């Protein structure tokens, strides 16, 4: 499975002498150290990040969701995805989805125990007041969904006049623009807000990382050093797809990327991990490296020594916009630990 070269995360974790867990890790000398794994996503990536959080709640510490909805919102039906879960949130029954979550765990054990969600979990939510793709009410339903599981630390940002997009304070189209690359400059740094909320960053900032964006903006190679910041690492994503599965057949690109801060390159520095899921029409084949480079995540990650993994979905006949699967195009198990996309991302974290 590993091929001729060591996987990105295995190399990092060997250097750090830790293995990822939700509640902490054990150092090589037996002492406990604190390490957090969190997820984020926008639009389809937001729905998928919720899926990943719920399915693997034993290891995921928190989630930052932009324009996403509750777990299993679409219930395997693209029509429900396009109506209730995007335009008509009044049709979403949070009670039903909470019940489905509980019953899925109790009857199939294909997701982790949802009780994990009440244990020291943080959730950061964002919806633009001008979002015409995913109705703000969908995110409010997500807030209610998490609340039903006893998540006490939920922050909802719903006052920024943003169209459907990942919101920044430096890059992208105007705040009210609807269209590619779905990154809008609204004078609000979502990356900083969500990462510093989800991770214990107080007192950890080690540099002013404003130069990281410039140095990585035109990145195209296997890895690119950033003076005082970090480097991007190109990942052979197809190595992590379940055996016998063709990545393109399940809507996955052959390549993913990770941002590795300089402070995470060698032993002695315990680094958190964040997984960022792009939205529809935001994968590499459509907008190149813009989501990887221009969301602001790398700058914040460099400042606080957070490794960022950028898995990549791609378009198929049944998924023409290159969305992450939150309605079932890759198989009926899409939302559980049996889902092929879910397994692929988890395999990267396990390597």
- Catalytic residue numbers, as ranges: 43, 131, 164
CA angle 42, 124, 88 (to 5 degrees): 55
**Cα gap 232→61, rounded to integer Å:** 24
Q: In what order do the strands lie in the sheet with 166-168?
A: 166-168, 183-185, 173-174
Q: Alpha-carbon distance 4 to 206, whole Å?
A: 35
The Cα–Cα gap between 290 and 328 comes to 27
> To 5 degrees, how large is the angle CA 269–CA 5–CA 346?
65
Q: Which two tokens stand for residue 255?
A: 């390549």
- Cross-strand bridge partners of residue 121: none
Q: Residues of 306-345 as b/e, b for ≥16 C-beta within 10 angstroms?
A: bbbbbbbbbbbeebeebbbbbbbbbeebbbbbbbbbbbbb
86 with 135: CB under 8 angstroms? Answer: yes
How far lies 319's CA from each of 72, 77, 84, 128, 339, in Å?
A: 18, 13, 19, 25, 16
- Supply the angle between the helices 136-148 and 94-108 in degrees, to the nearest 10: 50
Q: In the chain, what is the greatest distance between 2 CA atoms, to the nearest angstrom?
A: 54
Distance set, CA 110 to CA 30, 54, 104, 177, 185 (Å): 31, 11, 7, 40, 39
Q: Which of 250, 232, 231 is nearest to 240 (CA)?
A: 250
Residue 281 C-alpha from the chain's centroid: 16
């Amino acid at each position: 499975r590993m091929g001729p070269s060591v996987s990105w995360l295995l190399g990092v974790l060997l250097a750090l002498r830790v293995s990822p867990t939700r509640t902490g890790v054990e150092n090589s000398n037996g002492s406990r150290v604190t390490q957090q794994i969190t997820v984020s996503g926008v639009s389809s990536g937001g729905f998928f990040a919720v899926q990943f959080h719920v399915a693997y709640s034993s290891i995921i510490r928190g989630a930052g969701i932009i324009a996403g909805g509750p777990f299993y919102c679409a219930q395997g039906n693209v029509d429900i995805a396009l109506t209730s879960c995007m335009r008509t949130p009044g049709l979403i029954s949070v009670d039903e989805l909470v019940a489905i979550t509980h019953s899925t765990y109790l009857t199939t054990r294909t997701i982790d125990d949802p009780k994990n969600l009440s244990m020291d979990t943080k959730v950061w939510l964002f919806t633009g007041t001008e979002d015409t793709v995913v109705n703000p009410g969908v995110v409010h339903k997500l807030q209610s969904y998490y609340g039903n599981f006893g998540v006490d630390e939920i922050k909802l940002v719903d006052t920024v006049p943003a169209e459907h997009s990942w919101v920044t304070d430096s890059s992208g189209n105007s705040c009210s623009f609807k269209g590619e690359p779905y990154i809008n400059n609204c004078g609000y740094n979502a990356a900083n807000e969500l990462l510093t909320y989800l991770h214990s960053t107080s007192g950890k900032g080690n540099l002013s990382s404003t130069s990281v964006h410039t140095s990585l903006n035109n990145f195209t190679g296997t890895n690119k050093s950033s003076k005082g910041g970090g480097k991007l690492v190109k990942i052979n994503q197809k190595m992590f797809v379940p055996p016998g599965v063709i990545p393109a057949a399940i809507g996955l690109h052959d390549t993913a990327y990770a941002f590795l801060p300089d402070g995470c390159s060698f032993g002695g520095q315990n680094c958190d991990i964040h997984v960022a899921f792009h939205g529809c029409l935001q994968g590499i084949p459509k907008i190149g490296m813009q989501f990887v480079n221009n969301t602001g995540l790398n700058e914040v990650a460099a400042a606080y020594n957070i490794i960022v993994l950028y898995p990549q979905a791609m378009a198929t006949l049944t998924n023409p916009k290159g969305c992450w699967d939150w309605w079932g195009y890759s198989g009926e198990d899409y939302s559980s630990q049996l889902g092929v996309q879910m397994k692929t991302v988890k395999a990267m974290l396990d390597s």
